[in-house]
Amino acid sequence: MEWEIVTVMIALLGLIATVTKPIMNLTNTITKLNDTCEHLESKMEKFENHNHDSHVKIWAHNDKQDEQLAEHENRISILEERKV
């Protein structure tokens, strides 16, 4: 009777050890994944901010060029009218 109890307890401890190790590995992996996701989220936010700032600069430069083209078009039109 006593050996049966010891055998059952050893079997239960083995079962607990068998189940606990993969759960601990899974928990560690999930923690690393969360850290990686947070890092990627931070990087993506910085990228989006930089991208937005770059687009603002590009569109400002584009607007400036549009104004210059309009001025040149006006000057060319005036010069062509003088020739006629």
For residue 27, the SS3 value is: helix
Within 1-84, residue ranges assigned H as helices are 2-83
Given a cut of 90, whether residue 71 has pLDDT beyond it is: yes
Q: Give the end-to-end CA distance of the chain in Å, rounded to a whole number.
A: 122
pLDDT on residue 30 = 98
Given a cut of 90, whether residue 1 has pLDDT beyond it is: no
